Structure 1
Amino acid sequence: MTAAEWKKRCQDDWGVQGLPAPEGLDWKSMYEAKPFGRNLLKNPSPHGLSKDNAPPEPELPEAPMDGPPIFQLEGDFSGWTTNTEVLPYDTSGIPQGAVVCALPQYSWFSMEQTVDLKAEGLWEELLDDFQPEIVIQDWYEESQLDDSIYQLHVKLLGADKSTVIAEHSVNPTEDCSAYSHTWKEVSHVFSGYGSGVRYIHFLHRLKNQSMMSSFYYTRFTDSSVTVKPIKTTP
């Protein structure tokens, strides 16, 4: 196929005409890179779970174990940069003079990664002039460990990886009055965000609980960052 034929194939398959592009763009390589419609995050389901199936019920230990609190998560987190922030014990509700045998200790487990949009097959003219929609989606387990178990922070960054062009944050409050162990969806669409976007920084935090060396954690699955060939500028 000629360069013109590859360009037409890209435009036909992506459903757009007249995409801004530099002279001599390798349309064959762009087509094979499939920059639109695929998940740009690596390892989106480290726990090996899917939103299409209910999250597994936590396994309760037969007897509490001795030793210090456990903060070890199960899963393959390759592709993510991870961090654990252990929170101080909450003693606010304990009456003065009361004897406490054990308290739950909470921690935030953070996972983040940065998507290089040019490395994924997008190009500067497309990002600056066309500004395609950037769709964020995530699913987290309604673990009911606390009234705050999930946070999401997504930033569209410039070429220097420090200039924030647009951002979106989510910090929901959970209803712990009724047990409903399901996946909860979080989503956002970036549009009309302006020129200069070259990277996407995706970070979410999930809360875990350790008590008497028993460890319970909040899982996530099917995280995604997708670019759609939909023009968002006037």
Structure 2
Amino acid sequence: MKRKAMGAAYSSGSASSRNVSSAAGPSASHSQEHLFTVPLEILEEIFLNLPPHQVVSNCRLVCHQWAEVADSESLWRERCRREGYRPRDASKIPKDWRLFYFLCRKRRNLLKNPRGEHGMKNWQILENGGDNWIAEGVMVPHPNETVKKNFVTSYGMCRKSQLINLEAEGYNPSFMDHFQPDIKISDWYAPRWDCGSEYEICVELLNQRKKPIQKFAPQTVYFEQWNDQKWNQMTYVFQNYGPGVRYIRFIHGGKDTQFWAGWYGIRITDSCVEICPAGDT
């Protein structure tokens, strides 16, 4: 099934709304308005029980009254309440409840196979040094107890990547250019206690030609031998990145620093790329 584009769900359609009533002349417009006049509270309840894309794409084009309700803050705030979408920080009220609703509804991890549960599937191997990448069970429990597997690097540099096509994931170009929603990056990594290792990550926002618009590439993280082998989280949020973002390239990896045969390098799991409401990351 083809994924519905985010821009189509959110389009205001104000010009189309005016054209529907004006095309047949003033008298037709007046009779149409009279025909569809319903108490606002009843109309809002009807809209709350319809699929959200239908409210935006169809209902708001019927007449001015329907458009007013379909665009109202109260409708989308109530829809968020009923479906359990609320700001993570209760003190930060969304400026646009409709945008907040649709971003929450579509929010998900855009990376495939982020924990190695399917081996190396969905990942492009850029470097496969030493004894190559493998996926295995976690050595120490992860803070998220549902995470049971991780990727493991070897004694030569191991790097892998995924390319996310935003339009294919339902975020069309006009939506990305106009709203520029937050893009949150998260990655978990841990060393072995008995071997030194290093970890690196690079995430790029790319244009249609796959040329970088913005990049997150922090310094390499090093671990000494005989460490506490605890899990660490790398996070970053892209904001106000400008128009033109069409792809996201996610790259990470590392190796051990003592050149031991086998898999003593950095462990990586539960990687995540999300499109989020502004300030709700």
TM-score norm. by structure 2 comes to 0.53
Measure the CA separation in 2 of the matches of 1:199 and 1:10: 29
Measure the CA separation in 1 of the matches of 2:105 and 2:246: 13
Q: Does the C-alpha gap of structure 1 residues 231 and 122 become closer, same or farther in structure 2, counting only changes over 3 Å?
A: farther
SS of the aligned residue for 1:121 comes to coil
Higher CA-based Rg: 2
Tell me the percent identity: 30
The equivalent position to 2:181 in structure 1, one of 132, 139, 159, is 132
**1:52-201 counterparts in 2 under 5 A?**
76-84=119-127, 86=129, 106-143=155-192, 145-146=195-196, 149-161=198-210, 163-176=211-224, 179-201=227-249
Residues 160-181 of structure 1 show CA distances to partners (whole Å, capped at 9, x for unaligned) of 11x2111001234335275211
Measure the CA separation in 2 of the matches of 1:225 and 1:215: 26
Note the C-alpha offset of 1:126.
1.8
Measure the CA separation in 2 of the matches of 1:160 and 1:123: 16
Measure the CA separation in 1 of the matches of 2:259 and 2:76: 51
Measure the CA separation in 2 of the matches of 1:138 and 1:218: 12
Measure the CA separation in 2 of the matches of 1:178 and 1:4: 58
SS of the aligned residue for 1:115 comes to strand
Which deviates further from its counterpart, 35-44 or 186-195?
A: 35-44
User: Any unmatched runs of 5+ in structure 2?
Assistant: 1-49, 58-69, 86-93, 131-153
Q: Does the C-alpha gap of structure 1 residues 187 and 132 become closer, same or farther in structure 2, counting only changes over 3 Å?
A: same
Instruction: Please say if residues 188 and 271 of structure 2, whose CA atoms lie closer than 8 Å, have aligned partners that are also in contact.
Output: yes
Q: Does the C-alpha gap of structure 1 residues 79 and 231 become closer, same or farther in structure 2, counting only changes over 3 Å?
A: same
Instruction: Please say if residues 45 and 222 of structure 1, whose CA atoms lie closer than 8 Å, have aligned partners that are also in contact.
Output: yes
SS of the aligned residue for 1:5 comes to helix
TM-score norm. by structure 1 comes to 0.63
Q: Does the C-alpha gap of structure 1 residues 35 and 204 become closer, same or farther in structure 2, counting only changes over 3 Å?
A: farther
Note the C-alpha offset of 1:34.
7.4
Q: Which amino acid aligns with 1:5?
A: V
Q: Which amino acid aligns with 1:41?
A: L
The equivalent of 1:38 in structure 2 is: 108
Work out whether 1:226 is the aligned partner of 2:269: no
Matched pairs, number: 174
The equivalent of 1:202 in structure 2 is: 250
Q: Which amino acid aligns with 1:155?
A: E
Q: Which has the higher contact order (CA 8 A, sep 6+)?
A: 1
Instruction: Please say if residues 198 and 265 of structure 2, whose CA atoms lie closer than 8 Å, have aligned partners that are also in contact.
Output: no
The structure whose residues are more often strand, as a share, is: 1
Measure the CA separation in 2 of the matches of 1:35 and 1:202: 23
Measure the CA separation in 2 of the matches of 1:183 and 1:150: 12
